[in-house]
A and B are shown apart, each in its own frame.
Chain A
Amino acid sequence: MQETILVIFIITIIIALGLFAFYKYNLNSIEKFKLEYEQLRAYTLLSTLPNHPQLQNSYLGNPENSIDTSKLLSLNLNSLGNKEIIIKQVYPKIEDKLCSLNNYPNCSSYLIYKKESSEKNINIISTPVSLYFPLTKEYRTGLLEIKWNY
């Protein structure tokens, strides 16, 4: 009788350990899945942000494939999570200055969104964009950069 109990007990322990390992594996795969989802969201944001109504340049209501820099100085974007989003002018190269109403358009970078996070890992993704300056009716080359923590 005691031997039977012992055998059943040990087998149960082994099954339980197996199930625990399986559960942990599944949990990890979900975490990985979540991370991939967050990554996907960041990449989606990178490609949709230039078309955002508060950023996109338009002429008489027709959308243009560029970012209107005069709109970047007073942006209030909805919560986009723990990220920092910067648009930098890369060509022609000018002195590295954060843009404000006082120094526009003689500046090079626009901080359009920032929400700090305690997470240590930082991922930076970027894409080239066309920047439009309505005062001078000029187009320049820029870089849209998203830093996100995970």
Chain B
Amino acid sequence: MKAQEQFSWIFIVIAGAVILSFFATFAFKYQSLQEEKLAIELLINLDNAFFNLQSSPFNTFDIIEIPKNVQITCNSLKIGNRNYSSTNLIFSPKELNDKIYIWYKPFNFPFKADNFYYITSSKNKFYLIANDEKTREFAKSLVENLPDKIKQNFYIENIKQPNGKNIFLYNSQTNDVKIINQDNKFTVFYNDKIYEDASQELIYGAIFSDDFECLYNKLRLNLEDIIKTYGKKSLILQNSKCNYANFNLKELKELRYQNAERIEKLNENLASLSCPPLY
């Protein structure tokens, strides 16, 4: 009788453990399932926003609420513990939460080369550090071009500020991002690397992004493909009357604004000669 009672208790303990582990497993699996569902919903929202914004040839802007933290790296979006690859060029702080602002700008260099998305959350702060009237004017012009909602995240200051990203508009001895305007030629200093003659889109890229170098390289790779496409197009269009050999599109890979301007002029000249323009 006593042995039977002992067996019953052992049975209860084992059965209890099995049942408990089953419920625990179920709870964990269900939680991960819900997380994935939420992540997919969030991805759909972001995809929709990107799609709607890029269907315009102009600068566009959107706001979306995100229920979870999103970590954005150069090639992926991380929602919760899950990574989703992304081919978009997203210039943003590493971590975003709550309400996010998405500003879209087509990157024309000089032909449309890519789509730029500048993203920030309502809580991110950007300090443009100016040291004289000239740099202060430059800072004002940078803020002026931003969408109204994003303007609220930007502050023009004289000295480095805590709790935000500092962007120095003069050559200071710091490791922060520096953007120097010399006779309307802009040089970006980012993590000890120098990006000379940067276009306006790249300047904003350096301001918004925490991973600028990687995005810059990704842009160069994308640009290479487009340069090849236009290179082949120039061979198709080449004839005795219309000369496309001077374009030298490869120099665009250096991402220097003056090269884009030179190609723009060549393209306009071709059009004035009644030749099909390259772009």
Contact = CB atoms under 8 A, between A and B. Distances in A.
B108 A61 contact: yes
A27 interface: yes
A58 B113 CA distance: 12
B36 A30 contact: yes
A23 B110 contact: no
A34 B40 contact: yes
Contacts of B33: 23, 26-27, 30
Given A26-B30, A30-B36, A40 B225 contact: no
Q: Secondary structure of the B side of the interface? A: helix
A79 B40 CA distance: 20
A76 to B, nearest CB: 4
Interface in B34-82: 36-37, 40, 43-44, 47, 51, 54-55, 57
A81 B277 CA distance: 33
A91 interface: no
A101 to B, nearest CB: 7
A70 B114 CA distance: 19
Interface residue tally on B, bucketed by range: 35 or more
A29 to B, nearest CB: 8
Contact of B40 (A16, A33, A48, A137): A33
Given A12-B19, A23-B29, A137-B276, A1 B108 contact: no
B273 to A, nearest CB: 13
B29 A59 contact: no
B236 A70 contact: yes
B12 A5 contact: yes
Nearest to B275: A134
Given A23-B26, A30-B36, A54-B226, A74 B112 contact: no
A2 B12 CA distance: 10
A56 interface: yes
A76 B108 contact: no
Contacts of B51: 44, 47-48
Contacts of B236: 70, 73, 101, 104, 134-135
Interface string B239-279: 00000000000000000000000001001100100001101
A128 interface: no
Interface in B179-211: none
A73 B236 CA distance: 10
Interface stretch (B129-137, B139-147, B227-235): B227-235
A37 interface: yes
A78 interface: yes
A41 interface: yes
B237 interface: yes
A74 B235 CA distance: 11
B158 to A, nearest CB: 39
Interface in A93-131: 101, 104
Contacts of A58: 111-112, 279
A12 B21 CA distance: 12
A23 B237 contact: no
B214 interface: no
22 contacts: A19-B23, A27-B33, A33-B37, A33-B40, A37-B43, A41-B47, A48-B55, A51-B55, A58-B111, A58-B112, A61-B110, A61-B112, A61-B267, A63-B57, A63-B112, A70-B237, A74-B228, A75-B225, A79-B87, A101-B232, A134-B276, A135-B236
Interface of B: 5, 8, 11-12, 15, 19, 22-23, 26, 29-30, 33, 36-37, 40, 43-44, 47, 51, 54-55, 57, 87, 108, 110-114, 222, 225-226, 228-233, 236-237, 264, 267-268, 271, 276-277, 279
Given A56-B112, A60-B268, A134-B276, 14 more contacts: A5-B11, A5-B15, A26-B33, A37-B40, A54-B226, A54-B229, A61-B108, A70-B232, A75-B229, A76-B225, A101-B236, A134-B233, A134-B237, A137-B276
